C-alpha cells in the first residue's frame, strides 16, 4: 500500500486527530493544517488544530484560524497527530505530539521521516496540494472553506504562481478550488494587502539598506531587532520582503537575514530559474524548494551577509546564468568571506 493509502486508511479508522505545522506559520502551514482539519470534520471526525503561536494578522481572517489552540505542549492522546510540512517534529514548537501516532505529511526535500506514516511528495507545489489529494481519496466534497485553505497554500507557497515547482496539477487544483466557491481576489487581497504602517516602514528601511554583489545579480537584506523595535515592527511584518528584489530584472537571487535573538538569525533565500537556494539551506540544516528556502544560523551579521552572498554567487555560477552586460554592483564585492559560523536548523 502507498503511503497515501496508509494515511487514508488510518484517517478512516480513527476518530480523534490533532493537526499542526511549523513555527511562524505561513499561508501553506495554515492552509494545510486548517484544510485538513476541516475536511476531517466533514467526515465526522474530531480534528483540532494546535500551533505554538497564533498566525500573523493577515492570516487570521481565514476560516477557523481564530479557533486554533495555542500551546507549547499537549498532554492528550489522539488517534493521530498530523504534522504538516515539517522536516522534523521539533519544527512544530509543540511538545507531546509523539504521544499519538505521528502522521508526517510534507513536500520538502530533507524530511527526516520521523512518523509512523511518512507521506512525502516532493513534486507537490504546496502542502495544500497534498491535502487536496487526501480530500479526493476520502471522497469528501470540496467545501468552500477547505478549498479556500487549499488555494491559500497554493498561492503563497508558489510565490503567487511564480516558482519553478508549479505543475499542471497545481493549476487544475486551483481551478477546482475556484469552482468550489473560492474568491481568488479576496484571498490575495486579504493575504497581501493587509499591511500595518509598521510593515510599510520596515519594508522601506530594509530595502533602502539593500546590498548587492559587484555584478548586481545577488541582493542581501537584513533586519536587526533594533531596527524592528525602532519602527514598532515585528518579525511578522518582514514577511514577503525577500521576494521584492526579484522584481528587478537583473537580480537573480536574494538573501534576507532577520535577527531572532542576540546572535541567532533567520535566513530566507529566493531565486530565479535554475539557481538552487535549497541546497544552500540544507547545508545549514534548513530546507525548502529550489527557488525558495531558509535556515537558522548563529554569528555576526556582517560575516553572515558576506558568506551568504558568496554562496549565492557560487550558486549562480553553477546555474550558468550569465550576468547582464554592463551590470554594476552598488557595494564592494566581499563575497569570499567564509569564516565559519555556528549553525542549527530553523
User: What CATH number is given to the structural domain containing 108?
Assistant: 3.90.1640.10
C-alpha 333 chain-centroid distance? 30
> In this predicted structure, which of 153-167, 236-250, 270-284 has the lowest mean pLDDT?
153-167
Same domain, 99 and 186: yes
Contact 35, 105 (CB under 8 A): no
pLDDT bracket for residue 81 (50, 70, 90): very high
Give the residue from 165, 192, 219 where a domain finishes: 192
Whole-number Å distance between alpha carbons of 270 and 276: 9
Q: Which residues, other chains included, contact 148 with Cβ-Cβ below 8 Å and sequence gap of 6+?
A: 62, 63, 177, 182, 187
At 188, list the grid cell.
490575495
Give the residue from 138, 173, 192 where a domain finishes: 192
What is the pairing mode between strands 102-106 and 117-120? parallel
Average of pLDDT values for 38-62? 96
What share of the chain in percent tops pLDDT 70?
92
Same domain, 83 and 206: no
With H, G, I as helix, E, B as strand and everything else as coil, classify residue 27: helix
At 114, list the grid cell.
520521523
List Cα–Cα distances, 334 to 211, 304, 324, 330, in angstroms: 11, 12, 20, 12
How does pLDDT run across 172-181, given as a tens digit for each residue? 999 999 999 9
List Cα–Cα distances, 207 to 56, 125, 178, 254, 331, in angstroms: 22, 28, 35, 12, 14
Q: pTM score, two decimals?
A: 0.80
Q: What is the number of domains present in the chain?
A: 2
Same domain, 177 and 204: no
What is the pairing mode between strands 16-20 and 80-84? parallel
Q: What is the pLDDT of residue 239?
A: 87
Closest CA to 283 of 336, 343, 221: 343
Give the residue, 244 or 261, on which the prediction is more confident. 244
Whole-number Å distance between alpha carbons of 133 and 76: 28
User: What CATH number is given to the structural domain containing 327?
Assistant: 3.10.310.30
Q: What is the pLDDT of residue 78?
A: 98
Q: What is the pLDDT of residue 3?
A: 96
Whole-number Å distance between alpha carbons of 342 and 242: 23
Average of pLDDT values for 57-75? 96
Closest CA to 310 of 285, 339, 272: 339
Q: Which residues, other chains included, contact 110 with Cβ-Cβ below 8 Å and sequence gap of 6+?
A: 87, 282, 287
How does pLDDT run across 186-239, given as a tens digit for each residue? 999 999 888 889 999 999 999 999 999 999 999 999 999 999 999 999 988 898
Average of pLDDT values for 93-109? 96
Q: What value does the mean pLDDT of the chain take?
A: 90
How do the residues of the chain divide into helix, strand and coil, expressed in percent and rounded to 5? 40, 20, 40
What share of the chain in percent tops pLDDT 90?
79
Same domain, 20 and 167: yes
Same domain, 109 and 54: yes
Same domain, 218 and 240: yes
Dihedral of alpha carbons 287, 132, 83, 236, sign? positive
Whole-number Å distance between alpha carbons of 148 and 151: 5
List Cα–Cα distances, 184 to 58, 64, 126, 174, in angstroms: 15, 18, 17, 9
What is the pairing mode between strands 69-70 and 102-106? unpaired
Q: What is the pLDDT of residue 159?
A: 84
Same domain, 152 and 205: no
List Cα–Cα distances, 266 to 104, 141, 147, 223, in angstroms: 24, 39, 31, 10
Whole-number Å distance between alpha carbons of 161 and 163: 6
Same domain, 141 and 216: no
| Full residue range of the structural domain in which residue 245 is found | 197-344
Same domain, 266 and 178: no
Q: Which residues, other chains included, contact 39 with Cβ-Cβ below 8 Å and sequence gap of 6+?
A: 131, 134, 135, 138, 140, 143, 146
Same domain, 90 and 161: yes
Q: What is the pLDDT of residue 340?
A: 29
Same domain, 152 and 14: yes
Give the residue from 192, 208, 239 where a domain finishes: 192
Same domain, 151 and 297: no
* 344: pLDDT strictly greater than 50: no
Amino acid at each position: 500500500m502507498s503511503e497515501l493509502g496508509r494515511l487514508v486508511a488510518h484517517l478512516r479508522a480513527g476518530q480523534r486527530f490533532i493537526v499542526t505545522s511549523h513555527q511562524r506559520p505561513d499561508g501553506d502551514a495554515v492552509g494545510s493544517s486548517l484544510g485538513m482539519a476541516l475536511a476531517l470534520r466533514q467526515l465526522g471526525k474530531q480534528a483540532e488544530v494546535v500551533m505554538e503561536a497564533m498566525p500573523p494578522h493577515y492570516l487570521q481572517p481565514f476560516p477557523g484560524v481564530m479557533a486554533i489552540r495555542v500551546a507549547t505542549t499537549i498532554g492528550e492522546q489522539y488517534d493521530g497527530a498530523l504534522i504538516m510540512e515539517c522536516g522534523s517534529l521539533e519544527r512544530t514548537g509543540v511538545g507531546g505530539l509523539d504521544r499519538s501516532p505521528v502522521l508526517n505529511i510534507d513536500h520538502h526535500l530533507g524530511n527526516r521521516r520521523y512518523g509512523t506514516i511518512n507521506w512525502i511528495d516532493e513534486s507537490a507545489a504546496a502542502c495544500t496540494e497534498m491535502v487536496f489529494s487526501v480530500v479526493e481519496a476520502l471522497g469528501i466534497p470540496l467545501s468552500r472553506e477547505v478549498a479556500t485553505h487549499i488555494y491559500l497554500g497554493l498561492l503563497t507557497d508558489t510565490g503567487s504562481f511564480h516558482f519553478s515547482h508549479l505543475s499542471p496539477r497545481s493549476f487544475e487544483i486551483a481551478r477546482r478550488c475556484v469552482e468550489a466557491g473560492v474568491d481568488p481576489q479576496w484571498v490575495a487581497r486579504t493575504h497581501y494587502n493587509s499591511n500595518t504602517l509598521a510593515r510599510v516602514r520596515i519594508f522601506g528601511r530594509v530595502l533602502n539598506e539593500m546590498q548587492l554583489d559587484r555584478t548586481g545579480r545577488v541582493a542581501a537584506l537584513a533586519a536587526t531587532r533594533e531596527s524592528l523595535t525602532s519602527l514598532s515592527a515585528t518579525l511578522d511584518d518582514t514577511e514577503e520582503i525577500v521576494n521584492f528584489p526579484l522584481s528587478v530584472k537583473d537580480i537573480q537571487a536574494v538573501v534576507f537575514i532577520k535577527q531572532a535573538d542576540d546572535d541567532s538569525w533567520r535566513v530566507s533565500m529566493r531565486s530565479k530559474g535554475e539557481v538552487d537556494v535549497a541546497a544552500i539551506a540544507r547545508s545549514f540544516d534548513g530546507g525548502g524548494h529550489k527557488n525558495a528556502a531558509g535556515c537558522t544560523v548563529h554569528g555576526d551579521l556582517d560575516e553572515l551577509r558576506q558568506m551568504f552572498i558568496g554562496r549565492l554567487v557560487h550558486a549562480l555560477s553553477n546555474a550558468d546564468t550569465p550576468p547582464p552586460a554592463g551590470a554594476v554592483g552598488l557595494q564592494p564585492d566581499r563575497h569570499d568571506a567564509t569564516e565559519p559560523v555556528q549553525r542549527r536548523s530553523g
